[in-house]
């Protein structure tokens, strides 16, 4: 059984919660998971950019994922986490409601995303993984962190 799994191939993902859904990002893209700390607001940036934090000496930008996906806002709580991800030389922190699991998903359990999942546009998704009882939404971080949109917004606001 175990051997069979290896042949199919698996992806190790960090699971986090946003609103009522569970999402996953590949473990290779995750640098660390931090507790919420003081965020310095950066003026005149898009709404979903919460600001910057001091991450062990490196000034790291922080994105509120709820706002990024136009989900309803909620107060930050004890379980709120910042997941530091690295994509294409960019290191960015994502604010999520909770992060508490690492699981292996067989590649063949991943299906292409439907048009809209949990209010998040399909463009930001890599796929949906069906596991025994749970549905896991895999994020396309390249798209989520695309700076094109930021620059467009910049032009708009500036």
Partner 1 sequence: MDMNQYLDMFIEESKEHLQAINANLLILENDPTNIQIVNEIFRSAHTLKGMSATMGFEDMASLTHEAENVLDLIRNDKLTINSEIMDVIFQSVDLIEGMVIHITEGGDGSADVSNPVRQLRAIVSGDFSAQQEVAAASAVAEPEAVAIEATVESSDRDYGLDDYAQTVLKQSKDAGNNLFWIKVTLNDNCLLKAARAYMVFDQLESLGDVIKTTPAVQEIENERFDQSFEVVFVTMHPLEKVKTAIQNISEIHEVLIEVISVKKTDQETPVAKTTAPVVNETKKQETAQPAAGRKPAAGGKTIRVDIERLDILMNLFSELVIDRGRLEQLAREIGKTELQETVEHMSRISGDLQSIILTMRMVPVEQVFNRFPRMIRDLAKDLNKKVNLEIFGAETELDRTVIDEIGDPLVHLLRNSLDHGIESVIDRKKAGKSEEGTIELRAFHSGNHVFIEVKDDGAGINKDKVLKKALERGIVTQAVADTMTDKQIHELLFASGFSTAEVISDISGRGVGLDVVKTKIESLGGSVGVDSIRGKGTTFLVQLPLTLSIISAMLVQVKNEKFAVPLSSIIETAVFKKDQIMMAHRQKVIDFRGRVVPLVSLQEIFQIPSDQIETDDEVAVVIVRKGEKMAGLVVDSFIGQQEIVLKSLGKYMVNVFAISGATILGDGQVALIIDCNALIK
> How far is it between the farthest Cα atoms of the chain?
58
Q: Least distance (Å) from partner 1 to the CB of residue 156?
A: 12
Which residue, 103, 92, 101, 105, is CA-closest to 144? 92
Token reading at 128: 């949906």
Q: Between residues 14 and 92, which has the closer beta carbon with respect to partner 1?
A: 92
Q: Between residues 74 and 147, which has the closer beta carbon with respect to partner 1?
A: 147
In 1-89 the beta strands, taken as DSSP E runs, fall at 10-18, 21-26, 30-35, 49-55, 58-64, 81-87
Which parts of this chain interact with partner 1 (CB under 8 A)?
Answer: 38, 40-45, 49, 51-54, 56-61, 89-92, 145, 147, 150-151, 154, 158
Q: Least distance (Å) from partner 1 to the CB of residue 92?
A: 5
Q: Between residues 92 and 99, which has the closer beta carbon with respect to partner 1?
A: 92
Q: Least distance (Å) from partner 1 to the CB of residue 78?
A: 21
Q: Between residues 45 and 80, which has the closer beta carbon with respect to partner 1?
A: 45
H-helix or E-strand spanning residue 157: helix 147-157
Q: Least distance (Å) from partner 1 to the CB of residue 58?
A: 7
């Amino acid at each position: 059984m175990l051997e069979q799994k290896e042949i199919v191939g698996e992806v190790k993902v960090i699971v986090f919660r946003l609103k009522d859904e569970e999402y996953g990002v590949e473990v290779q893209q995750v640098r660390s998971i931090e507790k919420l700390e003081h965020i310095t607001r950066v003026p005149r940036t898009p709404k979903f950019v919460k600001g910057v934090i001091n991450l062990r000496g490196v000034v790291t930008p922080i994105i509120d994922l709820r706002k990024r996906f136009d989900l309803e806002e909620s107060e930050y709580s004890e379980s709120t986490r910042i997941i530091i991800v690295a994509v294409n030389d960019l290191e960015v922190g994502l604010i999520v409601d909770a992060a508490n699991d690492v699981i292996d998903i067989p590649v063949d359990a991943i299906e292409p995303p439907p048009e809209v999942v949990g209010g998040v546009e399909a463009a930001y998704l890599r796929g949906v993984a069906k596991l025994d009882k749970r549905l896991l939404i895999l994020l396309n971080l390249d798209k989520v962190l695309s700076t094109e949109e930021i620059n467009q917004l910049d032009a708009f606001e500036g």
